[in-house]
Amino acid sequence: MSDTISLAIDKALAAPNGRHAEILVNDGPLRQTVIALKKGVRLAEHNSPPAASIQVIRGVLQVSGEDEVVIQEGHVEALTHQRHAVEALEDTVFLLTTVTSIPGRTSHTGQIPVVDPEL
């Protein structure tokens, strides 16, 4: 994995937008993506998938939205179910694990409305 991490940060540092992402696992609703961000790069506020976690492999990351959390290297945090933004406080590489669908929920939008079958 260390080669993947080094390559990801090198690509982010060379990219005009200061970021790089690569899907490592794509298995049904499960996704694992290595994301590298140059210091100061911010991913704009976006919706959260039904379930997700971030593990910072190198650097420091700030997740903001309804709540704010700083995730240090080596730490794992469950992602909020609220809209949130992400910013690299240092050159950072992290593993984003997401579940893109859960029965009864849609991806990135929350609960599916219950419809009365008699209507």
Global pTM value? 0.82
pLDDT for 37: 98
Q: Is the pLDDT of residue 47 over 90?
A: no
Cβ neighbours, 10 Å, residue 34: 20
Report the C-alpha gap between 92 and 37 in whole angstroms. 5
Mean pLDDT of the residues in the chain:
86
Residue whose C-alpha is closest to residue 69's, from 37, 52, 78, 46: 78
For 64-88, what is each residue's pLDDT tens digit?
Answer: 988 899 999 999 999 877 889 999 9
Percent of the chain predicted with pLDDT > 70: 84
Confidence of residue 94 (pLDDT cuts 50, 70, 90): very high
